[in-house]
Chain A
Amino acid sequence: MTTEILSRIKPLRLRARLIVEGFLTGLHRSPYHGFSVEFKDHRSYNPGDEIRWIDWKVYARTDRFFVRRFEDETNLLSYIILDGSSSMAFSDEKFEYARNLAAALAYILYLQRDAAGLVVFNEKIVVQIPPRASRINLSHIMKTLENLKPGGKTDLSSFKLLAEKLKKRGLVILISDMFLDPEEVISGLKFFRYRKHEVLAFQILSPREINIGGHARVFEDMETGEKVPFDPINLQSEYRKTLDKHIEKIKRELRKSGIDYEKFVTSDPLELALFRFMKKREKLP
């Protein structure tokens, strides 16, 4: 389903569901992992239940199949950190793409009974929804995302405080354009690594940021208001080189710190981002 079609679907929750279900349909095996470890009770075996959950001791005693049921509890805390700064508002589809991705991730985490939380930041933490695996929490996240409007500057220094708050280890997913100095990005995300969180960084870029195009004009920074006269016709190739250098540096430094990095252009399908996420999730308990 294309981003354009998705954007026409107003309720974000429905949008997220469509994304996720479409994505799951395409997979060959179940993406669900884990389940709780706290035993709750037994129930009789029904065809289709996984054999590994059959309690063989009960079978030995009763000669009947029973499967074990566990306490409904999450096994992973996930923090979706969305960049809500003004730069994300560049071209409408960029923030929309990020928002959809955040929603889809929240939804898929919910389906996995993982606890998903949402943090929206600019120069400070704007929204912080603690991770929970409840439906209410998901609704809260969706509603928050739906009403979110980008603004303010990007500043990752608030991540330090945020990292300190996240006591329990979990998965941190950063969705941002990462238009910052690479050092700032690394130092911001390193706080989570110090806390032993797994970190997944999604950089979202608009095609118009990659190929600026058009005649010479003055470009005004969406966050700082700074103005730069620039001739895209003459300087396109140099710009691409500089942008690639910037991306490459972020990627290299993040990987050095054990942070997975993925770059998405808004023209890329969202499923690709989800797939990356699932691959990461597989490695986690």
Chain B
Amino acid sequence: MISLYRRASADLARLRTAEASRDAIDELNRIVLLAHALIYHAAPPTRQSGIVQFLARDYPRTVRESWPFHLASFLIATLFAVLAFAQVQQDPFLIAAVMGGAEHEFVGQRTGADIRDRFLEADQPTLFSYVTTNNIRVALVAFALGITFGIGTVFILAVNGTMLGGFAGAYAQSGVGAEFWITVMPHGALELSAVVFAGGAGLMIGYSLWCPGRHTRLESLKRGGKKALIIICGLIPAFILAGLIEGFITPSAHLSDPIKLAIGGLAALVFWTHLLLGGRDQTDRTDPATDEDATNASAV
């Protein structure tokens, strides 16, 4: 195969110099191109441990390395949540603006039972499916819009922060704020964390465009995008877990509130522990940059 490829590419070069028939050159070009892809870019053998190692090591490491972005993401979302909370306290009709005209549902007296009913009415597997797909979509969009120099990501974070703060404000105004948080927190602890990290990944892409450093903007985008993508891929299992809790635990009529909160808290604890500690115990791979520098130094 390889010797055939060598001969074919040598022939191609010769045909070019000889200005042979254009069709022949094009055809040989096509063939050599295919062979080139096969020889130089053969797919690396897929490791069985690839995904496990990715989730266990690469993903938490990348998240830790990029903590300032996640902090920024958290602050942006929180800022808008607090603003919305305060505004809705003053003017309950504002929630209608957030929800697009569904004020009859959200304005006026509410009881704790109302909140629960909204969840209880729903068909559980459907709720799980809907919530999970929707959350993953929001995360993917927040990430993708990072390429608008981060502006789109900030917008998504602001919208989601405003929604949460607005609802919390509206329910608090009706005097059932505690009920609201008890209902939301079992799945929310995990779900909101994951959304914040997805926003952080989007901000990372935006930052790589604003401040490319020593690289060209394009090169910087590629690097930032790759790192941010690792975070997004790692978050997908977390969204599915959050969806499971929101679909089956939160609306469950059989479980008491403390048990629901305990399950949600446990899930969030696992998520955070993994992020903070995952991949630390193994011997750290040598940083490629320093490694390269060392080689250069020894060569000099």
Partners in one complex: no
* A→B interface (CB under 8 Å): none
